[in-house]
Chain A
């Protein structure tokens, strides 16, 4: 078995990259490579790529729009096509939708305000690389901190996401006006997950909760044993 190999991408304006790297290292025992957005290539033979939260490029044009066109995102798209696991949290989710790696778009919160608090979520499926460590229907608590988390997709896309079990997490309370309460979605192959809540901020008791831990344990566990 070869060592687990992961990377955390940092864009100008990312601010959760260190938190993600700490979470991945705590659970995998191996520090992820830290990759700058201007790089054209990712490290070789990666198992897992994480795109962090933050305000890349100051949210210019649209949240995630500029980062999605940065050089490293071409390498991320190629890796995702080959089946490498990719997690985008918060701004990372916005980047994945802007890059076309996930359907839909994240719009301004319906209440206009920035929302920064812990929210209750329902795990919608345990049949995914990222959520196998949860029970379907399980209620968990994770923090959110975003201005543009209002998920939008047309009705046909929303029906397809639900029909194919690609809604990973749903808000269990009103948060930002997201279509059908969607908080996290998977791509068709199930190797790319984007979510607005922050699992990396809930991995040890000192964080006030550990509900994000199972996500990293699920994906890292599956990849290490693969």
Chain B
């Protein structure tokens, strides 16, 4: 079973990388981009039946740093897997 973990900086935490990407988009002539926040997408292949609690613990213990980041766990249905 595939699980996607989206890790993003908490609101209010300055994101220098997002700011640089924003600046670069403007430099390429894309107008109307109001804000850019850069995050991280982690895909896990886990055993069927892996519990929400286990996935949550993985995020809290390693995948996200809760001082600065939030995370979102998404179980990916087989038909939605992009190969």
Contacts and interface: CB of A to CB of B under 8 A. Distances in A.
Contacts of B68: 105, 107, 152
Contacts, number: 37
B13 interface: yes
A177 B13 CA distance: 12
A34 interface: no
Interface in B7-31: 13-14, 16-17, 20
A105 B65 contact: yes
Contact of A112 (B17, B62, B67): B17
Nearest to A111: B16
Interface residues of B, number: 11
A72 to B, nearest CB: 17
A91 to B, nearest CB: 15
Chain A CB within 10 Å — which of B13, B14, B17 has the most?
Answer: B14
B18 to A, nearest CB: 10
Nearest to A153: B67
Contacts of A103: 67
B29 to A, nearest CB: 21
B35 to A, nearest CB: 17
B1 to A, nearest CB: 22
A112 B16 contact: yes
A150 B65 contact: no
Given A62-B65, A107-B68, A152 B16 contact: no
B38 to A, nearest CB: 9
A177 B67 contact: no
13 contacts: A62-B65, A65-B65, A103-B67, A107-B14, A110-B14, A112-B16, A112-B17, A112-B20, A150-B14, A152-B14, A152-B67, A154-B67, A177-B16
Across the A-B interface, give the 3 residue pairs with the lowest CB-CB distance, nearest first.
A105-B67, A105-B68, A108-B16
Given A62-B65, A110-B14, 5 more contacts: A61-B62, A65-B65, A98-B65, A104-B67, A105-B65
